[in-house]
Amino acid sequence: MTRVFSGVKPTGHLTLGNYLGAMRRWADVDQHKADALFCIVDLHALTVDHDPARVRRLSRQGATLLLASGLDPELCTVFVQSHVDEHARLSYLLECVATDGEMRRMIQYKEKAAREQARGGSVRLSLLTYPVLMAADILAYGADEVPVGDDQTQHVELARDLAVRFNQRYGHTFVVPRATHPAVATRVMNLQEPLSKMGKSDDSGPGIVYLLDEPDVVRKKVLRAVTDSGREVAYDREAQPGVANLLEILAACTGGNPSDLSGVYETYGSLKKDTAEAVVEVLRPVQERHKELCADPGYVEGVLRDGAERARAMARPTVDAAYRAIGLLPAVTDIAVSAGR
């Protein structure tokens, strides 16, 4: 039985990158595997400057979009990270296994810390330790597979390293997980800056397609995508990153292959037009279902309540085992005390 865990953090409105790189496959493939869990990882949203009301709003919206994208609570567990204490409990133990040097080597930490500093802001300690919390998210559930976009590969590698190290030092406790990726669109790039990832927390709105963008907004963004100085439509990530990005998006939306598709188009204009329509069509059912779910907030709340309960029951035994393995004295419960008297 393969157990799957993945998550998305509520730091901004969810994007086409989140959808093609992760969420769509969670619904199409991963939720059908045994005991799959999908999580709004809200604690991770506190690692950078944040507005509390916005994080709450985006968490609710993110959960609604997970369901709108096809996750079925009858098949999988959908929940909010902060509703399950086991994540934070385990994170501390893993901090005692991880090293400072390991944390400072994380690419996302280096990039985000540099960005914060350039803005004149301070870097929160939690930004440095974030990958350990992510490892705790995964290891608490004994996940075998972690379906993510390419940008999370290094973090999943760290989770593997920590699992192996903990098991070697303290006895077998954790399943060693591995990252899985979609066949195409593992890294959807910003339409205005095709050398940068399309990230939800970036400021460059025109280069980011949000899942809830109106069709005309999507069309405008795709039609204005930065292409390259050449004329030929070729699939070459190095030489033509803008065109390659459009071909990958089109391939991911239509089920095609970016190389094959490059032969179909003679102009950038026709490629952009078809890509825009393909994205609009992929987002249409998600947006329709999102609208229906927004009309029934009680349903979403119920899913999250049940999800947290199921998730707690799954994580608790592993995290308790890790506490014992690492050398912490088990708490004696009132029942055990009175039974012993």
| Residue numbers at the binding site for ligand TYM (CB under 6 A) | 5-9, 17-18, 21-22, 41, 44, 134, 137-138, 146, 148-149, 151-152, 155, 186-188, 197-199
Q: How far is the CB of 292 from ligand TYM (least distance, A)?
A: 24
Enter the DSSP assignment of 190.
P
Residue tagged active-site, from 110, 200, 221, 272: 200
Tell me whether residue 189 or residue 271 sits nearer to ligand TYM (CB atom): 189
Find tokens 């300690």 and name the residue: 125
Q: How far is the CB of 48 from ligand TYM (least distance, A)?
A: 11
221 is in an annotated binding site: no
220 is in an annotated binding site: no
Tell me whether residue 237 or residue 299 sits nearer to ligand TYM (CB atom): 237
Task: Name the β-bridge partners of 178.
Answer: 145
CB of 17 within 8 A of CB of 193? no
CB of 277 within 8 A of CB of 218? no
Tokens of 124: 């929160």
Which residue in 204, 206, 145, 209 sits closest to 178, CA to CA? 145
Concatenating the DSSP letter of every residue in 89-114 gives HHHHHHHTTS-HHHHHT-HHHHHHHH
Q: How far is the CB of 103 from ligand TYM (least distance, A)?
A: 14
Find tokens 């507005």 and name the residue: 51
Tell me whether residue 212 or residue 299 sits nearer to ligand TYM (CB atom): 212
Active site residue 221: no
Which residue in 177, 179, 6, 178 sits closest to 78, CA to CA? 6
CB of 253 within 8 A of CB of 282? yes
CB of 159 within 8 A of CB of 205? no
Active site residue 112: yes
Q: How far is the CB of 179 from ligand TYM (least distance, A)?
A: 8
Active site residue 197: yes
Residue tagged active-site, from 33, 110, 112, 272: 112
Which residue of the chain is nearest ligand TYM when measured via CB? Answer: 21
17 is in an annotated binding site: yes
Residue 110: what residue type?
K
For the annotated catalytic residues, the residue numbers are 112, 197, 200
Q: Which residues are annotated as a binding site for ATP?
A: 9-11, 17-18, 149-151, 188, 197-201
Q: Which residues are annotated as a binding site for L-tryptophan?
A: 137
